[in-house]
Amino acid sequence: MRRENQPRVLGQWNEMSFLRIFLLIAISFGISACGGSKIKTYNGPEVTQIQVNKAERKMYLLHGDKVLKAYNVALGFTPEGHKQFEGDGKTPEGTYHISHRNPNSEFHLSLGISYPNDADRAFATQNGKPTGGDIYIHGGPNRKVTKRDWTAGCIAVTDRQMETIYSMVKPGTPIQILP
């Protein structure tokens, strides 16, 4: 039998346990937020087109004719001219589309570009060479980059920028790559 002036140990333990559990959950959420997911959520206007101007080293995300975002980019290690063959280090030129999203990219996230198209394949076949492929918009590599244009033909941005781009661009979005 409990006396009036004795503390309610069981009740205090339950309240303390609840408080401890609550604090542990709050800290866990806080820690996971600090690490952050590399895939962000975007709720703005739809990206209806991507334009890349190779000469300016700029990429524009557009909604209609309005620029939503602009980024400096790195290109293939031989940036001038249209990609024609595997290993030429050129970034393609022309109109393609975003084929897929890759959250587990060799680089920091990536968006596939639909290169090669039928004309690209026909040209390479005519010249007896492979077209190459695996052209992406992606973040950085896991190594230090010392050259301005360092990819094998892709379009590269910083990791943080790629997180934003990845959240904004959906497969099927047209991409126009200009000389």
Position 138 pLDDT exceeds 80: yes
* Confidence tier at 144 by pLDDT (50, 70, 90): confident
pLDDT of 5? 58
Asked whether residue 44 is assigned to any structural domain, the reply reads no
Q: Give 151's strand partners.
A: 76
pLDDT of 32? 39
64/143 same-domain check: yes
User: Could you tell me the pTM of the whole model?
Assistant: 0.77
32/64 same-domain check: no
> How many CB atoms are located within 10 Å of the residue 177 CB?
23
59/86 same-domain check: yes
* Confidence tier at 28 by pLDDT (50, 70, 90): very low
Give burial (CB, 10 Å; 0-12/13-18/19+) of 128: exposed
19/54 same-domain check: no
pLDDT over 70 for what percent of the chain?
A: 79
147/73 same-domain check: yes
* Confidence tier at 141 by pLDDT (50, 70, 90): confident
- DSSP H or E run through 59: strand 58-63
Place of tokens 């024609």: 84
| Average pLDDT across the chain, whole number | 85
Residue 96 sits in which domain range?
A: 49-178
168/117 same-domain check: yes
69/107 same-domain check: yes
**How many separate domains does the chain show?**
2
| Selection from 155, 158, 113, 157 nearest residue 134 by Cα | 113
* Confidence tier at 158 by pLDDT (50, 70, 90): very high
User: CATH number of the domain that 167 lies in?
Assistant: 2.40.440.10
Asked whether residue 43 is assigned to any structural domain, the reply reads no
What are 80-134's pLDDT values in tens digits?
Answer: 999 999 999 999 999 999 999 999 888 899 999 999 999 999 999 999 999 988 9
Q: Give 69's strand partners.
A: 61
31/56 same-domain check: no
| Selection from 72, 98, 75 nearest residue 168 by Cα | 98
32/53 same-domain check: no
Round to whole Å and give the CA distance between 84 and 132.
8
Mean pLDDT confidence for 29-54 = 75
Asked whether residue 42 is assigned to any structural domain, the reply reads no
